[in-house]
Amino acid sequence: MLFGSIEAGGTKFVCAIGNEKGEIKERVSFPTTVPEETMKAVIEFFETYKKDLKALGVGSFGPIDIHPASETYGYITSTPKLAWQNFDFVGTLKKSFDIPVAWTTDVNAAAYGEYVFGNGKGLSSVVYFTVGTGVGGGALQEGRFVEGFSHPEMGHMLVVPHPDDKDFEGACPFHGNHCLEGMAAGPAIEKRNGRKGQDIPIDDPFWQIEAEYIAQCAYNTTLMMSPDVIIFGGGVMKQRHMVEKVHRAFTKMMNSYVKTPDLDQYIVTPALEDNAGTMGCLALAKEAELHSH
């Protein structure tokens, strides 16, 4: 039994074929250009496996329509990527593949990967954030995504600007210097420092500021959801020194108000590293195939 995974990101699409154990057989990536081009490459990749392919799992950049009853279900909706606005993603796949398609956000897919195979395994409540080009968050409670009229946009939660960061106007076109993404995502780091995060030395005082924003995120999440684990993925958290800085800032901020699980198990990075999204899509595809019977 083979399953397909499509991680549809703003920069590239990562497509993979795997089995029910989450073992990846083949993986390719295509640049995100325009739907005609990118989707053609995606469909050609899966065509090779068509006779054994049981279901597809898609984790897409958003916003997306997640409501099965809606007439634009399966669409990417109001994205800043103009060519992809109101694009019928699931419908396009269904034209070529008459199989179940699981459809969710890219960050939900990564959360699901960690829930099934990684640092959320065996836990009932898992929250996953990616801190990279943007900030996104996804949450699972008892194996179900936490969502209502739409999917959460946790990356835009309010944060308080750091005292040494008062003059930075932020990088979010909607919320300026009031939201997590506007203050802590890759573009905000670059806008503020004139260079990318990977080029900033680890002893630069900026990292303390960055850690405080991520700690505010963990603080808000803890008090709103009391999850079993908070997982921070994405490029920014590849800086290994960050986790400890976040732990220290979080402890200070929380000021013993609630007793959380031990921070080494509570505020962590993904066990699956960059594979979380792909593994999550494969697991979601397997679920979709099971539910189609």
Contact 172, 186 (CB under 8 A): no
Q: How many residues does the chain have?
A: 293
- Residue 196: its pLDDT value, please? 96
CB neighbours (10 Å) of residue 44?
13
Q: For residue 203, what pLDDT band results from cuts at 50, 70 and 90?
A: very high
Contact 73, 67 (CB under 8 A): yes
Smallest CA-to-CA distance from 128 within 138, 120, 118, 119 is with 138
- Residue 80: its pLDDT value, please? 81
Contact 191, 177 (CB under 8 A): no
- Residue 114: its pLDDT value, please? 98
Q: What is the token pair recorded at 161?
A: 């600007």
CB neighbours (10 Å) of residue 180?
26
- Residue 62: its pLDDT value, please? 87
The Cα 43–Cα 6 span in angstroms is: 10
Instruction: Reply yes or no on whether the pLDDT at 38 is more than 90.
Output: yes
Peptide bond before 205: cis, by omega within 30 degrees of 0? no
Q: For residue 245, what pLDDT band results from cuts at 50, 70 and 90?
A: very high
Instruction: Reply yes or no on whether the pLDDT at 146 is more than 90.
Output: yes
- Phi, psi dihedral angles at 59 (to 5 degrees): -115, 115
Number of DSSP helices (H) and strands (E) in the chain, helices first: 9, 12
Smallest CA-to-CA distance from 215 within 227, 230, 198 is with 230
- Residue 79: its pLDDT value, please? 87
Q: For residue 148, what pLDDT band results from cuts at 50, 70 and 90?
A: very high
Q: What is the pLDDT of residues 67-124, one digit of tens each?
A: 999 999 999 998 888 999 999 999 999 999 999 999 999 999 999 999 999 999 999 9
**Helix (H, G, I), strand (E, B), or coil: what is residue 124?**
coil
By 3-state DSSP, what share of the chain in percent is helix, strand and coil, each rounded to 5?
A: 40, 25, 35
What is the percent of the chain where pLDDT is above 70? 100
Instruction: Reply yes or no on whether the pLDDT at 252 is more than 90.
Output: yes
**Mean pLDDT value across the chain:** 96
**Can you tell me the mean pLDDT for 197-202?**
96
Instruction: Reply yes or no on whether the pLDDT at 20 is more than 90.
Output: no
Instruction: Describe the strand order of the beta sheet including 267-268 as a list of residue ranges.
Output: 144-145, 135-141, 125-131, 229-233, 267-268
CB neighbours (10 Å) of residue 21?
8
To the nearest 10°, the Cα dihedral for 184, 190, 194, 199? 100
- Residue 272: its pLDDT value, please? 97
Q: For residue 157, what pLDDT band results from cuts at 50, 70 and 90?
A: very high
Please give the DSSP secondary-structure letter assigned to residue 50: G
**Helix (H, G, I), strand (E, B), or coil: what is residue 180?**
helix
Q: What is the token pair recorded at 288?
A: 């979709």
Q: For residue 251, what pLDDT band results from cuts at 50, 70 and 90?
A: very high
Q: What DSSP string describes 259-291?
A: -PSPHHHHEE--TTGGGHHHHHHHHHHHHHHHH
- Residue 48: its pLDDT value, please? 96
